[in-house]
Structure 1
Amino acid sequence: MIARLAAGLFALALGFPAAANIEIQQVTSPGGVEAWLVEDRSIPFVALEFWFVGGSALDPADRRGATYLMTGLLEEGAGEMDAQGFAAAVEGLAASFEFDASRDAVTVSARMLTQNRDAAADILRAALVEPRFDADAIERVRGQVLSIIEGNARDPNDIAATTFAAMAYGDHPYGSPQEGSAESVAALTRDDLIAVHRSTLTRGRVAVGAAGDISPEDLGVLIDRILGDLPAEAPPRPGPVVNNLAGGVTVVEFPSPQSVAFFGHAGIERDDPDFFAAFVLNQVLGGSGFQSRLMGEVRVNRGLTYGIGSFLSLADLSPALLGQFSSSNELMAEAIEVVRAEWVDLAANGITQEELDAAVRYMTGEYPLRFDGNGTIAGILAAMQSDDMPVDYIVNRNAYVEAVTLEDVQRVAARLLDPEALHFVVVGQPQGLSPGN
């Protein structure tokens, strides 16, 4: 959110080997913060990633949007530096910091040259530990957030996803947008931002990934330099929530020649023994490319949409199987029936061996391409820790995919795909559709 990037910096983030050759070192700082490191001394540059697990789901019920607004203010002045002074200091060191918020984490991405590492770390520490929350900065960023909220209210894709979440999760934090509402954001005070800063950015629930020109010993010292003055204890997170949304169609009127559909139902946890079978199943159902069932039936064979896909959402507190597509108002009802038919067929009959083989080839072939630079790798390492994944996951991941059998996928298709629970939120003016279809 609202990031500044030093010109040319990411040209330094190239040259890492394939995933199977990545060696992860586990590091514990003198202050007790754990981190994972991929060391590479070929370029005088290091990327750091901090994931403060909890995110906007920690917002008090009457202060929705507080974490999102607070995160946007972390680069708007810290310590003795106002917003302009902070920006000048970062740019003067050819460093870059990005601060972002999601419902499950506040993420901080840092890129810095080896020769400027300590000075850049001190500026980052100030942003995390001593944000100023100046009145003018609060109003400036509040205005930006209110503009985002206003724009989302006119975006049929956002309306569809937001409506689905509200129906599925109700009063749980997942049930409302992390940006908050215009009313909740307008009511936020500086004290609210200070309170959510103290509860969200803690050492008690942070995952750290690093990649580049730094030793494990130096990384430990650097982590404590940046995070050592943050609170040690993290507040409790909200409990999990089950998506109990019943099957059917919800229509939200919106003046447009085409409609947007957001659909899905409950999913599967990452640590479930059947996860990789579900992962492969989704690739066949609605994964990347034109080989998926949904793309083939809805677009290629019938021309009802330009694109459609599904994905396994691994949200910490409520995993889901979701999808989205758009279609003209006169074709949306037919497109929904085709999607339902694929859900029914896969649940009852599963996939073919040819589909399994194609999915495994694609998934194992594209995986090494994700590791295309130290910034990306640092982010992957932090994400793995936040999801409690084993340190050898990268090395073994393709083997897990290749171990999935046809019988595994058939069993999981019958377990996971629930046509009776499949719900569609349609935003537009679809013909032949009304709530309850």
Structure 2
Amino acid sequence: MTTLTAMRFRISMSALTLMLALVFLVLPAVVAARAEVRIQEVKSDRGITAWLVEDYSVPIFAIKFLFDGGSTQDPVGKEGLANLMTGLFDEGAGDLDSDAFQTRLDEAGAEMGFNESNDAVGGGMRMLADRQDEAFELLKLAVEKPRFDQAPIDRIRSQIVSGIVANARDPEAQAARKWAKAVYGDHPYARPDQGTETSLATITADDLRAFHKANFTRQNIHVAVVGAIDAETLKKRLDQVFGGLPEKADLRVVERVEPKLRQTMHMEYPLPQTSLQLIYPGVPREAPDFLAAALMEHILGGGTFSSRLFDEVREKRGLAYSVSSALINQEHASSLIIGTATRSDRAAETLGVIREVIRKMAEEGPTEAELDAAKKYMLGAYAINNLDSSGAIASTLVDLQTDELGIDYMQRRVELINAVTLEQVKAAARKLLTVEPAVMILGPKFAETSKG
């Protein structure tokens, strides 16, 4: 998925202080225990499925959920609809107006937030186990009966427009927008999630209600819960919060898109640093060679301080503070992205070094020692990066659901990674890195001296 809009949280300070104190007291033991996470599948009477990890180390729990759809479902001319909607769930629901809802949320000692991406609208709540009645009732109202009153719509829309106006003066933000259009053409991925001043001005409360009805359904939801709650209680809570939603979603069909490679876009701007971004083909998460590609990418640039790009660009030549790569998987597109920023007078040299590192990886692949180190890192870092809090675990479980990796993936993961061979990783390097990439340059004009 793309970078999510910042979640909007409201929580009482007394409850927050209590939760943090409890977490810090038991965190070392919790992290150690979560090296082996026991996941249960819970299905409610109304057919809503959730993955649950029971953990009574602290008397709190987190629920995370995603509805498939996201900003790709924004109607043409009403871009920014999904993003605007996520700012309104705590601005009144049911019989509670904005002030009343936020007061009740503070009194419940709960933390609630919503966000959107290209492919989903997500939400979540953290709550004290002994205050869950009040918290779940508020979550039910927010999910099922948001009010979309005009005053909050106008206020949140104004805040978003202020950000759009500020971005219009930011060369990096403008470059990113033009870059998305160059790479994805007329696909919804090329549209700005936050919309435009023009599109936002057309959005009405009825548009928000229609989007909510079409996208917030029992058919397209993924749920994960972690913490001090048992399966039987969760079954009832799932129906309480989500059981009143429509059964089936009404989503627009979104076609898969391949990034448009073999192009260079140079946005001239008098900056002291030049930003460079290269896009290569990616690998869908469900592809058989995904893990081989992920290990190759880690060795190339994803490993940060241990990667080839970091070693050649920063350590040996001091051309940039950081340089990295990432495999990006969205619902309808995949790519491998490499990015850095360097002094403008050394931009051509930096781009040449990056291309040479990529050429060598494509032709020779990694060494056995590099592959062994990458496997050890990916196996060891998983718990630290994905299982270090109840919220992180819940988010990871939702991701596993949307990627359709299976409830036993954490147990199978070690075996799957260890089974990847050096030849498979070399094949992934040849497959992805022998294609001429799309290159974006933001900064003063220069002549590229080499293409590797």
TM-score by length of 1: 0.95
Aligned to 1:391: 407
Q: Which amino acid letter does the alignment assign opposite residue 301 of structure 1? A: K
Per-residue deviation, residues 110-143 of structure 1 (Å, max 9, x unmatched): 1111111122111111111111111110111001
In 1, the alpha carbon distance for the partners of 2:168 and 2:262 equals 25
- Residues 240 and 318, structure 1, Cα contact 8 Å, conserved in 2: no
Local SS of the residue matching 1:108: strand
Count of matched residue positions in the alignment of Structure 1 and Structure 2: 435
Q: Is the alpha carbon distance of 1:300 and 1:153 closer, same or farther for their aligned partners in structure 2, counting shifts above 3 Å?
A: farther
Aligned-residue Cα RMSD (Å) equals 2.0
Per-residue deviation, residues 204-234 of structure 1 (Å, max 9, x unmatched): 1000000111111111110110011111111
Identity over aligned pairs, percent = 38
Given candidates 397, 408, 414, the residue that maps to 1:381 is 397
Given candidates 134, 143, 165, the residue that maps to 2:158 is 143
Aligned-pair distance for 1:237?
4.4
- Residues 39 and 214, structure 1, Cα contact 8 Å, conserved in 2: yes
Aligned to 2:97: 82
Q: Is the alpha carbon distance of 1:169 and 1:238 closer, same or farther for their aligned partners in structure 2, counting shifts above 3 Å?
A: farther
In 1, the alpha carbon distance for the partners of 2:442 and 2:400 equals 35
Aligned-pair distance for 1:176?
1.1
- Residues 161 and 262, structure 1, Cα contact 8 Å, conserved in 2: no
Alignment of 1:300-379 (within 5 A): 300-369=315-384, 370-379=386-395
Q: Is the alpha carbon distance of 1:82 and 1:139 closer, same or farther for their aligned partners in structure 2, counting shifts above 3 Å?
A: same
Deviates more, 1:247-256 or 1:328-337: 247-256
Aligned-pair distance for 1:12?
4.4
- Residues 19 and 394, structure 1, Cα contact 8 Å, conserved in 2: no
Given candidates 43, 55, 60, the residue that maps to 2:75 is 60
Deviates more, 1:237-246 or 1:376-385: 237-246
Alignment of 1:14-413 (within 5 A): 14=27, 15-369=30-384, 370-413=386-429
In 2, the alpha carbon distance for the partners of 1:53 and 1:300 equals 42
Local SS of the residue matching 2:371: helix
In 2, the alpha carbon distance for the partners of 1:129 and 1:171 equals 33
Q: Is the alpha carbon distance of 1:222 and 1:404 closer, same or farther for their aligned partners in structure 2, counting shifts above 3 Å?
A: same
- Residues 51 and 206, structure 1, Cα contact 8 Å, conserved in 2: yes
Per-residue deviation, residues 64-86 of structure 1 (Å, max 9, x unmatched): 11000011111111112222211
Q: Which amino acid letter does the alignment assign opposite residue 354 of structure 2? A: V
Aligned-pair distance for 1:430?
3.8
Aligned to 1:424: 439
Per-residue deviation, residues 262-293 of structure 1 (Å, max 9, x unmatched): 22122101111101000100100111331111
In 1, the alpha carbon distance for the partners of 2:417 and 2:38 equals 21
Deviates more, 1:89-98 or 1:38-47: 38-47
Per-residue deviation, residues 314-342 of structure 1 (Å, max 9, x unmatched): 11110111122111211112211222222
In 2, the alpha carbon distance for the partners of 1:162 and 1:295 equals 27
Q: Is the alpha carbon distance of 1:11 and 1:237 closer, same or farther for their aligned partners in structure 2, counting shifts above 3 Å?
A: farther
In 2, the alpha carbon distance for the partners of 1:323 and 1:152 equals 23
Q: Is the alpha carbon distance of 1:90 and 1:37 closer, same or farther for their aligned partners in structure 2, counting shifts above 3 Å?
A: same
- Residues 48 and 378, structure 1, Cα contact 8 Å, conserved in 2: yes
- Residues 333 and 431, structure 1, Cα contact 8 Å, conserved in 2: yes
Deviates more, 1:192-201 or 1:206-215: 192-201
Aligned to 1:4: 10
- Residues 45 and 212, structure 1, Cα contact 8 Å, conserved in 2: yes
In 2, the alpha carbon distance for the partners of 1:191 and 1:265 equals 41
In 2, the alpha carbon distance for the partners of 1:130 and 1:122 equals 11
In 2, the alpha carbon distance for the partners of 1:4 and 1:397 equals 36
Per-residue deviation, residues 77-99 of structure 1 (Å, max 9, x unmatched): 11122222111111101101011
Q: Which amino acid letter does the alignment assign opposite residue 391 of structure 1? A: I
TM-score by length of 2: 0.92
In 1, the alpha carbon distance for the partners of 2:59 and 2:136 equals 15
Q: Which amino acid letter does the alignment assign opposite residue 2 of structure 1? A: R
Aligned-pair distance for 1:244?
4.3
Aligned-pair distance for 1:109?
1.2
- Residues 54 and 200, structure 1, Cα contact 8 Å, conserved in 2: yes
Per-residue deviation, residues 180-224 of structure 1 (Å, max 9, x unmatched): 122111221222111111122221100000011111111111011
In 2, the alpha carbon distance for the partners of 1:253 and 1:322 equals 21
Q: Is the alpha carbon distance of 1:11 and 1:389 closer, same or farther for their aligned partners in structure 2, counting shifts above 3 Å?
A: farther
Structure 1 residue runs without a partner (length 5+): none
Aligned to 2:3: none
- Residues 29 and 220, structure 1, Cα contact 8 Å, conserved in 2: yes
